[in-house]
Structure 1
Amino acid sequence: MKKVAGVVNYVRHQANQLYQSPNRTLEILEVFWDFSRRYFYALAFWSLFSAKLLHLFAHLYSLPLSKFILWGPSFFFQDVAILLLFRILVQKTSGFIAVTCALIVFPFSLIVSGMAAANFSVYVFTGSEIHWRQAKTFTGDAAALRTLLSGLTGFLIGEALLVAGALFTARPIHRFVGGVLHVLAWPCRWMLTRLRPCVGPLLQRFPKRSHTLPDPRLYEQIHLEDDYLNDSEDDDDDFLLDPLGHNVSENRRSTDRLIPRVLVLGFVFLAVTLRLLRPSEPVYLYLSGTLPLASLFEGGHRNSPVDISGLPPYQFTYLAGQDSLHIPPSWDWMPKDAGPGFEDWKPKLPNANESVHYSPQTNPLHISNLQQPVLESIQGVLADGSVKIKHVVLLKLESARADTFPVRKDSFLYNRIAETYDNGEIPKEVQDRIANLTRTAEFLTGFPSGFQHNDTLHAGHKAYGGLSASNAYTTSTYTLKSLAGTLCGVTPLVADFNREWEHHIYQPCLPHVFEMLSNQKGITSDTEDFTRWPWHSIWMQSVTEGYDNQDKLTPVLGFKDKYTKEIIESPEAKHYPVKSEEVNYYGYADTELREYISDAIDDAERDHKRLFLSHLTGTTHHPWGLPNNTYEQILGSTKGHNEDLNRYLNAVGFQDKWLTEIMGILEEKGVANETLLVMAGDHGLSLPNDGGITPYDNPHVGSFAVPIVLAHPQLPALEISAPVISDQIVPTILDLLIESNSLSKKATKPAKDILSLYEGQSLIRPLIQEQNGMQDWQFTVMNTGGSWLAVRSAARPQYRLVIPLVNDVEWRFSDLSTDPHELKPISRFNLADLAAVIHKKYDEEVLQWLFDAAYVTNWWVGENWARYRFHPQNQGGE
């Protein structure tokens, strides 16, 4: 505390001097530099080395141990070089040189300490490092900045640790690195000493340099209780400015001994040698990158989407020259002025490349099941007219893990809760809370939760009815990309953040399809036959649409009417004012939309329109705030991430009750038996597994598995256990509308033609997992989109491969049959190293699957870019 007090008193004194005599700014800056140069150097020292150690720790198992040990010293080469350079700048200087050095060292130290603290905060809360090339996206986005502020506590803790470390170790670090430089300068001094007889006469012509001491009056009234600010010469030889050694102090001469010279020069020789001999692989360049240069040299797209060096050249040529873009089919029902979503059908496009459309018939990876009959269990009710679908309500559930829909007894999540209690026993009253946490999800899916219920919730019915997928993945772990995948039946664009809105979404989205069907002959509101009514699409969310250009994406997806946070909090809003406070940094609780949903149904029924209502929930987003902070205690301990998990489970329970309210509104309006209720998670969350509060750059399977439910009370409850993905939702909805005779005769033919365009198989027909030797490959674009891509095949769903698209992340393989919670995935920085490990552990069949997945993904990413008309080389860093 004495040191802190000394610093405070000193700074206060200098500020007072500056205020009284502004013309002495330069002198005061010199004095401040003289005292603070050690501190700022130590701050840079700890920032660089702590960031590098965290960097290496994060990728500790991504290289074979032998390679990590062999090349490890070379990973510090850039950091050491920068610190040695800056040690030269923080020598004892005066005048213009001191001012120049201060203007370089001060901002550098502050910037790198801020970057190190931010990286520490993100790693603690998400389990991954910051990719600095992506940070520019947040600078102009107010909602994104509010997101970043959620990690402010971790940032402040990290910064405080760095500041404290620098404050108490400034002098020894300064002396130590100075000693290293003194040793490194020894060969130069030795050589110049031998040349002294020659250069001596020349040097005598110049006056001997002397230090200019600051005005003694600047030190008046400074009373310190120790010598922390005592600027002695014990560590300030001008070892480079005075190479002939005129001013070498006695203390410095300890570095002229044999042992220090051998140690320092030996380590430098080893590091330089290893750096020169190190293979020129991107992984080594990435691991050795220093923090200040991270945003300049980190990652970046390659010319080839996937680095498949190490792939056996034989047998992997079956996709060469293949593509899936073709002239769109000619349909007699298509109007001459094709509307939004069908621009590829517009005649005489100026660019020939824009006259093509995705064609499943020419896609070598496409497997269709439309030729299969409807599942036997639902054939009857679809054929006899029992299932009527007048309206479609699609709910995109924020951060919905598959195992929370519903929460089941003796599941991983249940056992995770039990671990937080003594002896692993959950108290009876807590078991009751868990049993009632996701009652509506249990009712909608028909999945047994293992809990006994004695009440009459949902009128005593065990299941609502419909199709529920128990092995479903999302098309993207980034919310806005996931929206495009679910609403348009596509795999999102393989590029960072929300870029779909400014590129060519290669399939019509559901609002586009419904608008096209509304433009067919015979569609009118002047009838009681709802199959002939026009469609009306509405988008709703109680959170902001200002994050990452979502306000631009929504109309591109086909929604003309929308209700968002910005609209419902406007004084012109119909139900203004909002009834509650904001629950998180995005907006309000989902329940603020209840009147708007009710109005939408009333308006549709009154105006004889078919409603397509899409709603993105937001309450289950971090930090899982609830109205009035009404939380129940579910976990027995708040240690580690348990408090976050407790909040998340409470938010899951809140969302479940919100689903109950939505179903109640449908019942109240008398449209429940004529409404298809579709629910899908935008992405999962690995919080119960590894503490991840966001899927940002998190390849854990918990971020991928989501619920997918298509519920209708007139359908029998049916579990789809085969592996599926959320781009199958659009074709399934269209298939249900067609097979249930819920479209007019004039609209059925166009619907069938449009249905044939989509990649995904329909869930109401038998799913084909492999055909003619080609597996049904399912791709997930990982948050934020341009770094990683996950792939699995429906034929062998136990295997997951996460593939890097840039040079600074790893390949990652997991076998869910033996490691369902991915406790020990295999990670390596290149395919060859990964294949070598898998070959030792598995048979040739698994190795073949690995190579197939890598080869197929490399082809598919190029296809993805072509379909979106996206050119990475023209994207300014993409």
Structure 2
Amino acid sequence: MKVANLVNTLGHQVTQVSGVSLLKTLDVFWDISRRYFYTLAFWSLIGAKILHLYAHLFSLSPQKFLLWGPSFFYQDVLLLLLLRICVQRLSGPIAVLCALFVIPFSIIVSGMSAANFSVYVFTGAEIHWRQAKTFAGDGAAVRTLLTGLTGFLIGEALLVAGTVFTARYIHTFTGGVLHVLAWPCRWVLARLSFCLDPLLGRLRRRFQREQPLPDPRRYEQISLEDDYLNDSGDEDEGDYFLDNNHANITTAAELTNRRPSDRLLPRLLVIAFMISAVILRSIRPAEPVYLYLSGTLPLSMFFEGGTSRYTAIDISALPWNYNYLVVNSSLAAAPDWDWMTKQAGPGFEDWKKGSEVTEATGLHYDPHKSPLHISNLKNPVLESISNALTSGDVKIKHVILLKLESARADIFPLRKDSFMYRRIEETYADKKIPSSVNELIANLTPTAERLTGFPTGFDSNDTLTGNRKPYGGIAAKNAYTTSTYTLKSLAGTLCGVTPLVADFNREWEHHIYQPCLPHVLDMLNNQQETLDDTPDFTHYPWHSVWMQSVTEGYDNQDKLTPKMGFFDKKTKEILDEPNATHPVTSEEINYYGYADTELREYIRDAIDEAESNNTRLFLTHLTGTTHHPWGLPNDTYADILGNQKGSNNDLNRYLNTVGFVDDWIAEILNILEEKGIANETLIAMAGDHGLSLPNDGGITPYDNPHVGSFQVPIVLAHPHLPPVTIEAPTSSDQIVPTIIDLLVESRSLTKKSSHAAKDILSIYEGQSLIRPLIQEHGGMQDWQFTVMNTGGSWLAVRSAARPQFRLVIPLVSDVEWRFSDLNVDPYELEPISRFSLGDLALDLAKSYEQDVIDWLYEAAYVTNWWVADNWARWRYDPPVKKSDE
């Protein structure tokens, strides 16, 4: 009925303004639409604030939430009152100005609210509006955002529907509140009426709508308008701050027709509420968390993040005795190596002879200077690996590194009675997986089972792998990524660094503080030796190739890959060229590009070229099929989950893509055998990040601190290596030093190259996985850091000495500290989140002994030092920070 009334009213108004001036047309349009635009803004602001508080419901103690909760709406109420003043019944130029302010504001804030709703529903995280500008002008990023269009439209539809059905009531109610708040002003003006009467008269004539007699020909239309809009309840008649009855004479008729807001009880309630809100806001502690929770939606684009501070992390709650890292730094002059050429190549710019050594240009990361560094290079090679290496059977002519998109450690391979298996069981009514589905699951990841050697508990009859014995190599069971943002994770894996603590891909424009693996291999190419006979493969030059079937246009990846040493690239952009070597045979499967299998012929070509040219291939392949929305060629999916509604549908699609990529890895292994190089190729594999989809429904690791986004597989496979399982906590920044160590220890380099490789190996911060790992040395724990997606909001840290504890640390004031104990809560169902380190420590003290509190303080203190050192290593100048005071 309300929608029909609105449509009829619009029709009558169109008839009314036919043939009149533009100003009059705008005036009429504003008159009929002002309450709707106001109500749209009202629900957008209030809805966004409710969602905002709900997202952080357990980040404050219940006492603090109840005490200061009303003050969190302070900014929203003030803004809504300002808007309500703008939408009162006005005419002429002032009405136009109000319309030009309110209409765009309402549309923008409703869009922001709907977008925040969509992102929260699909990812479990709110939008950080300070990051929104990064997506502008990035085509791939825009396509990513469009995947949430359905949720955005649903959110916007809810706001519009709420507006249509509640506009009159919200408009009237807020008008009454404003009328009450204006009452003291009117009361004072009434007492000064004698002196101000001439001025008040002019103001009334200026601001009040003139009410000429209607044209008799349009009398019926005006009656219909009043009937449909039912303006009789509006609190719009006259200016709120001027008393029409300033003569202070109240007639009996006026007493009968008084507004509800003129009565004593409504006045007392409104004024009491506003006074309480002002008092609460005035006495509320000046803590960043309260400022953040109080922020109203449109202002968050400019003031999100709360106040800043001098230190990288707010460690003001630390005990006084944490000061032992103040004067230490990991930077020093680059080591002087006798084999280094005068014109050091890419990745080795710090070794250029004659360059002035300054803190800004010449200092290099030196692990021996870092108080956090623990090296295991003096440890002997693990006995089982050493025996294989000394036998001479392990030859590494080529290296292939597979960076696996969204690869969870617990599905590489998928094991029976694991969390994922039980998660699948829960989707069936009787909690029992049918035998046909169980067979699908058993054959979902046979290649991962073969490469890792991890038993799955299934009796697989897969014909692709032929039930072969384990492939051989090193597999880490407790590995974390260096970053849950793909492009940062690439830098961590390929350069042996911890990525830059800053939002998005900034690595490409700053100093990558270690040579990446292509740089190392290029440098080894320069270590020529005089040959008396036909050289073997150890004398062949290395050639690095990058491959991905998805776009490299997202967030400047096309600038990052050459910065890491890759100039021979095969990406979606190359595959799409009209003269591409191998035309694409399938449709795009997601908003990034094609299925990984579109690269099969390019991989064959790279191997053939290396073999025919006597070069050594270093091929890095970033997979993309397991990225949201988990598309497959021909859109064919097996039914793995019983109930495929909601997030279960996403999980079913994800598991299907996991099986697809497992088959693709098996196909790569078959290509190596087909080309006759399987026995002399080292295959390194690592996930870029995990995915918390089966845990909390998160479809992306964006701002998601769940442990499922951190745990990744790490495998270094070779057919002549024994299967070795690494139980100790590891990180993906250990892959580069491990590959270099394997090249040296397997005698896959010439003597001169081996000497250079040993020197280069010594400068990496990560420990080698082929030697016993050291979790603690000299009282210092082996701290492992993960830069959380998108890089500038959160940082995760754990200690290899006590890996059950995870601490997620805020780098800005608008996210929480988060602690979890994986021994007690392995799936992080109930992590402890608080907005301050002090509050978190108090909560932990209720359940843990002092040693755990000490670990918490130690982690916070070490991380604060490490962040500043990370910025120095990358030669990154963070935004100027100010004190909270």
TM over 0.5: yes
Instruction: Give the equivalent residue in structure 1 for 2:284.
Output: 278
RMSD, aligned α-carbons: 2.1
Listed one character per residue, the Cα deviations across residues 746-783 of structure 1 (whole Å, up to 9, x for unaligned) are 10000000000100000000000000000000000000
Give 1:190 shift: 1.8
Within-5 A mapping of 1:816-831 = 816-831=822-837
Give the drift of 1:235.
2.4
Q: Is the 8 A contact 2:74 2:294 kept in 1?
A: yes
The answer to whether the 8 A contact 2:172-2:233 is kept is no
Aligned position for 2:3: 4
- Aligned residue for 1:841, secondary structure, equals coil
Aligned: 1:160 with 2:167: no
* Cα distance in 1, alignment partners of residues 513 and 203 from structure 2: 75
Q: Secondary structure at the match of 2:691?
A: coil
Residue 762 (str. 1) matches residue 760 (str. 2):
no
Cα deviation for residue 225 of structure 1 reads 9.8
Matched, 1:299 2:305: yes
Give the whole-Å Cα distance in 2 for the aligned partners of 1:459 and 1:655: 18
2:238–2:244 contact (8 Å) kept in structure 1: no
* Pairing 1:187–2:184 present: yes
Q: CA deviation at 1:204?
A: 5.8
Q: In structure 2, what is the Cα distance between the partners aligned to 1:262 and 1:490?
A: 63
User: Do residues 559 (structure 1) and 566 (structure 2) align?
Assistant: yes
The within-5 A match list for 1:497-576 is 497-522=504-529, 527-576=534-583
2:872 aligned partner: 866
In the alignment, what sits opposite 1:67? 64
1:149 Cα shift? 0.2
Q: Which residue of 2 aligns with 1:785?
A: 791
Distance, in Å, in 2 between the alignment partners of 1:674 and 1:635 is 40
**AA paired with 2:2?**
K
1:205 and 1:330, CA in 2 relative to 1: closer, same or farther beyond 3 A?
A: closer
> 1: CA distance between counterparts of 2:771 and 2:480?
19
**In structure 1, C-alpha distance between the alignment counterparts of 2:219 and 2:553, rounded to whole Å:** 54
**1:94-133 correspondence to structure 2 within 5 Å:** 94-133=91-130
Distance 1:79 1:106 in 2: 17
Which SS does the other structure have where 2:543 is aligned? strand
Q: For the structure 1 residues 474 and 109, does the alpha-carbon distance in structure 2 shift closer, same or farther, using more than 3 Å as the test?
A: same
- Shift in Å, 1:341: 0.0
Gaps of 5+ in 1: none
Q: 1:174 to 1:17 in 2, by over 3 A?
A: closer
Does structure 2 retain, via aligned residues, the 8 Å contact 1:9–1:222? no
Aligned with residue 200 of structure 1, among 191, 197, 202: 197
Residues 1:504 and 1:524: Cα distance change in structure 2 (over 3 Å):
farther
Matched, 1:465 2:472: yes
Change (3 A) 1:538 1:14: farther
SS of alignment partner, residue 663 of structure 2: helix
Q: Do 1:676 and 1:711's aligned partners in 2 also have CA atoms closer than 8 Å?
A: yes
Q: What is the CA-CA distance between 1:233 and the residue it aligns to? A: 6.3
Write the distance in 2 (CA, Å) between the matches of 1:509 and 1:325. 18
Q: CA deviation at 1:240?
A: 2.3
Paired residue secondary structure (1:395): strand
Distance 1:626-1:352 versus aligned 2 partners, 3 A rule: same
Instruction: Give matches, 1:624-663, under 5 Å.
Output: 624-663=630-669
Alpha-carbon distance in structure 1 between the residues aligned to 2:203 and 2:12 = 38
Offset from partner CA, 1:625-674 (integer Å, 9 cap, x none):
00000100000002331000000000100000000110010000000000
2:151 aligned partner, one-letter code: G
Alpha-carbon distance between aligned partners in 2 of 1:483 and 1:245, rounded to the nearest angstrom: 73
1:583-594 maps to which residues of 2 (within 5 A)?
583-594=589-600
Contact 2:185 2:242 in 1 (8 A): no
Q: Residues 481, 59 of structure 1: CA spacing in aligned structure 2 closer, same or farther, 3 A cutoff?
A: same
1:83 alignment partner in structure 2: 80
Distance in 2 separating the partners of 1:524 and 1:290: 73
Report the Cα offset of residue 7 of structure 1. 3.1
From 707, 713, 717, the equivalent of 1:707 is 713
Letter in 2 for 1:212: E
Structure 1 position 841, deviation (Å): 1.0
Alpha-carbon distance change, 845 to 3 in structure 1, aligned in 2, over 3 angstroms: same
Contact persistence 1:401–1:683 (CA under 8 A)? yes
Q: TM (normalized to structure 1)?
A: 0.96
The question of whether the paired residues in 1 share the 8 Å contact of 2:481 and 2:689 is answered with: yes
Q: Secondary structure at the match of 2:713?
A: strand
Alignment partner of 1:375 is 2:382: yes
Q: Is the 8 A contact 1:537 1:561 kept in 2?
A: yes
Deviates further, 821-830 or 458-467: 458-467
Q: CA deviation at 1:9?
A: 4.6
Question: Partner letter of residue 498 of structure 2?
Answer: T
In 1, are the aligned partners of 2:741 and 2:761 still within 8 Å (CA)? yes
Give the structure 2 partner of residue 257 of structure 1. 263
Instruction: Work out whether 1:771 is the aligned partner of 2:777.
Output: yes
- CA distance, structure 2, for counterparts of residue 241 and residue 69 of structure 1: 34
| 1:204–1:583 Cα change, 3 Å | closer
Aligned AA for 1:514? L
User: Does the CA-based 8 Å contact 1:302-1:806 persist in structure 2?
Assistant: no
1:233–1:646 CA distance, 2 compared to 1 (3 A) = closer
Aligned partners of 1:3 and 1:226 also within 8 Å = no
Contact 2:405 2:627 in 1 (8 A): yes
Match of 1:763, as an amino acid? L
For 1:255 and 1:222, the matched residues in 2 are separated by 28
CA distance in 2, matches of 1:37, 1:167: 12
Structure 1 pair 156–525 and aligned structure 2 pair: CA distance change class (3 A): farther
Report the counterpart of residue 237 of structure 1 in structure 2. Answer: 237
Could you say which residue in structure 1 is the equivalent of 2:136? 139
CA distance in 2, matches of 1:88, 1:812: 43
Conserved in 2, the CA contact under 8 Å of 1:525 and 1:534?
no
1:407-450 CA-partner distances (Å, limit 9, x unpaired) = 00010000000000012111110100000000111111000001
Partner of 2:731: 725
Aligned counterpart for 2:431 among listed residues 417, 421, 424: 424
- With 740-749 and 783-792 compared, the bigger mean Cα shift is at 740-749
In the TM superposition, residue 189 of structure 1 has moved relative to its aligned partner by: 1.7
CA distance in 2: counterparts of 1:291 and 1:251, whole angstroms: 39
In 2, Cα distance between the equivalents of 1:378 and 1:34? Answer: 82
What is residue 847 of structure 2 aligned with on the other side? 841
Alignment partner of 1:849: what SS? helix
How far off its partner does 1:244 sit?
Answer: 4.7
Q: Output the amino acid matched with 1:712.
A: H
Deviation at 1:15, TM superposition (A): 5.9
Aligned length: 871
Counterpart amino acid of 2:64? K
Q: Distance in 2 between matches of 1:224 and 1:201?
A: 38
2-structure distance, mates of 1:484, 1:221: 70
Give the match for residue 477 of structure 1.
Answer: 484
- Percent identity (aligned): 69
- Compared CA separation, residues 234 and 358, structure 1 to 2 (3 A): closer
Unaligned runs of 5+ in 2: none
Structure 1 partner of 2:743: 737
User: Following the alignment from structure 1 to structure 2, what is the Cα–Cα distance between the partners of residues 265 and 659?
Assistant: 69
* Contact residue 40 and residue 105 of structure 1 kept, 8 A: yes
CA distance in 1, matches of 2:278, 2:741: 65
CA distance in 1, matches of 2:219, 2:827: 64
Give SS of 1:303's match.
Answer: coil
Shift of 1:572: 2.0
How far did 1:11 drift? 4.2
Contact 1:527 1:533 in 2 (8 A): no
The whole-number CA distance in structure 1 between the counterparts of 2:479 and 2:612 is: 37
Q: After alignment, is 187-196 or 420-429 more displaced?
A: 187-196
Of the three residues 331, 338, 342, the one matched with 1:332 is 338
User: Contact (CA 8 Å) 1:479, 1:682: kept in 2 or not?
Assistant: yes
Name the CA shift for 1:302/1:524 in 2 (closer, same or farther; >3 Å). Answer: farther
